[in-house]
Each structure stands twice: as C-alpha cells, then as structure tokens.
C-alpha cells in the first residue's frame, strides 16, 4: 500500500479526499519531527519506530583494497506489534 492508496482509502471514509490527504501528511510530519528529536514513536497494535545511530566502522574499498572509515549514520528501525500476526 502506498501513501496515495492510504489517502484514497481514508478519502472514502471522510468528507473529502482533501481532508484525508491533509490528515495523512500531518501524521507523517508529526512522526518525522518526533524521530528527529530522538523520541520513540509507538502506535499501539501496529508497532514502534525509533532512531538508531550506527557507530563509525572500518570498511574496505573493494576496488583498491584500502581501508576506509565509514562515518556514523542515522537509521529508522521498525518493530512490529505482536498483535499484527
């Protein structure tokens, strides 16, 4: 299911598709803002999203064989609720 599919499905239940699009966009904006602040986003019955920062690690350039340092990255992790399946 894509974002547009979600908006269309909600549009059938709401007064208009415009309101559904605004609701979905605001929901995602709030989730993104919370994750950027380092907060955990928990949706009961669905799952939780949290931000994980990877550490600096050594890597190898496959072409030259040189060792390079890979900088830390921010990743979003999702853990599904036990109620889904």
**pLDDT tens track for 23-66:** 999 999 999 999 999 999 999 999 999 999 999 999 999 999 99
Please tell me whether residues 35 and 53 are part of one structural domain.
no
Reduced to 3 states, what is the DSSP secondary structure of residue 62?
Answer: coil
Q: How far is the C-alpha of 3 from the C-alpha of 29, rounded, in Å? A: 13
| Count of other CB atoms within 10 angstroms of residue 40 | 12
Please tell me whether residues 8 and 32 are part of one structural domain.
yes
Domain that holds residue 30: 1-39
Its sign, for the CA torsion 60, 61, 63, 65, is negative
Domain count, the chain: 2
Please tell me whether residues 52 and 62 are part of one structural domain.
yes
Q: How far is the C-alpha of 60 from the C-alpha of 52, rounded, in Å? A: 23
Please tell me whether residues 31 and 45 are part of one structural domain.
no
- Is 80:47 a contact under the CB 8 Å cutoff? yes
pLDDT (0 to 100) of residue 77: 96
Q: What is the pTM of this model?
A: 0.76
Please tell me whether residues 6 and 35 are part of one structural domain.
yes
Taking only the tens place, the pLDDT of each residue in 7-25 is 999 999 988 899 999 999 9
- Has residue 84 got a pLDDT over 90? no
């Amino acid at each position: 299911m894509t974002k547009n599919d979600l908006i269309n499905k909600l549009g059938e239940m709401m007064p208009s598709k415009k309101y559904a699009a605004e609701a979905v966009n605001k929901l995602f904006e709030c989730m993104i803002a919370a994750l950027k602040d380092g907060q955990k986003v928990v949706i009961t019955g669905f799952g939780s999203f949290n931000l994980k920062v990877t550490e600096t690690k050594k890597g190898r350039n496959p072409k030259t064989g040189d060792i390079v340092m890979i900088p830390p990255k921010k990743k979003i992790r999702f853990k599904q609720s036990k109620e889904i399946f």
